[in-house]
Amino acid sequence: MDRPVPVLGNPQNTIAVLQKYGFNFQKKFGQNFLIDTHVLDKIVRAADIKEDDFVVEIGPGIGTLTQYLAYHAREVCAVEIDQNLIPILEDTLQAYDNVTVVNEDILKVDLKRLAEEKNGGKPIKIVANLPYYITTPIIMGLFEKHVPVESVTVMVQKEVADRMQSGPGTKDYGALSLAVQYYAAPYIAANVPPNCFMPRPNVGSAVICLTLHEKPPVQARDEKLMFQLIRASFNQRRKTLVNGITNFQGLFYSKEQVACAIEQCGLSPSIRGEKLTLAQFAALSDALSLL
């Protein structure tokens, strides 16, 4: 492998690149660049990047993590929304002939086609240091569009990572926990303090790896209904499951119907949604779909 060893990742080199281009951080894009080589190594290890992998990186910034990915992978496609970063990326990545930079919003990129063209349709690996404000739409977009993905390894806000892997009855458990766990097995690979970034965020972060299930761990007759029930039950978290579902816009079941379905599932009539497992939500949606 003749690729150069990554040089970004320490604060001095990052500052030098930013000063060279007079770059100003864009708050609207939630830009926080990694300046810790240990964390960068952990991300590559957590993503299990091998020399035959095709990797899509979301939000490469100035190319810090991109250099690490390009050093280990067969090919990297880095998708960056901020036009001001494109000249910087052309500079910092010029020594890597296995990187393509795309100036686009990741939510508009046809990742299925990309996987077909660059990876023969085989599942791809996605790695990202995600802006916190758009973490959930990006991750759920990848899952719901059924993009062929092997794993998603992302840096997210610590509390979001906690929510993704929480179980029933815990304070962090919610619609995001259930949605992520329906599609993938999550585990937190590293906790990352604010001083590992420039500029320094106000909250702690975590690297979470989501390994996609070959098939969902539960089978619901109507997947859409199951997720509506999940949203309904956490929409008004303190309400009972019966009230949450009957008050939810878009669901048209009577209290009697919901109570009957809950009883069929062997659950208490006063149970709250936060106590239900994914399997119980699937069973409840099956019971309601037959009414």
Write out the H or E segment, with its range, that includes residue 164: helix 158-165
Residues 285 and 151 in one domain: no
Domain presence at residue 244? yes
- Is the pLDDT assigned to residue 8 strictly greater than 70? yes
Domain of residue 62: give its range. 11-212
Cβ count near 82 (within 10 Å): 18
| Residues contacting 91, CB < 8 A, separation 6+ | 17, 21
pTM strictly above 0.85: yes
pLDDT confidence of residue 160: 94
> For 30, left (φ over 0), alpha (ψ -120 to 50), or beta?
left
Q: Which residue has the higher pLDDT, 22 or 41?
A: 41
Q: Is-contact 221 285, C-beta < 8 A?
A: yes
- Is the pLDDT assigned to residue 33 strictly greater than 90? no
Pick the last residue of a domain from 177, 192, 212.
212
pLDDT confidence of residue 21: 86
Residues 72 and 208 in one domain: yes
The sign of the CA dihedral 186, 189, 191, 197 is negative
In a 3-state reduction of DSSP, which class is residue 33? Answer: strand
- Is the pLDDT assigned to residue 165 strictly greater than 90? yes
Pick the last residue of a domain from 212, 245, 275.
212
pLDDT confidence of residue 149: 95
Q: Report the candidate in 148, 81, 138, 139 with the shortest Cα–Cα distance to residue 118.
A: 148
Please compute the mean of the pLDDT values over residues 7-34 and round it to a whole number.
81
pLDDT tens string 234-283: 988 889 999 999 999 999 999 999 999 999 999 999 999 999 999 999 99
pLDDT tens string 178-230: 999 999 999 999 999 999 998 888 899 999 999 999 999 999 999 999 999 99
Confidence of residue 28 (pLDDT cuts 50, 70, 90): low
- Is the pLDDT assigned to residue 31 strictly greater than 80? no
Write out the H or E segment, with its range, that includes residue 86: helix 86-92
Q: Give the domain CATH number at 251.
A: 1.10.8.100
Domain presence at residue 1? no
pLDDT tens string 53-90: 999 999 999 999 999 999 999 999 999 998 989 999 99
Q: Report the candidate in 97, 61, 53 with the shortest Cα–Cα distance to residue 78.
A: 61
Residues 279 and 253 in one domain: yes
Please compute the mean of the pLDDT values over residues 36-53 and round it to a whole number.
96
Q: How far is CA 58 from the centre of its chain?
A: 10
pLDDT tens string 95-153: 999 999 999 999 999 999 999 999 999 999 999 988 777 888 999 989 988 899 999 99
**Structural domain tally of the chain?**
2
Residues 208 and 228 in one domain: no
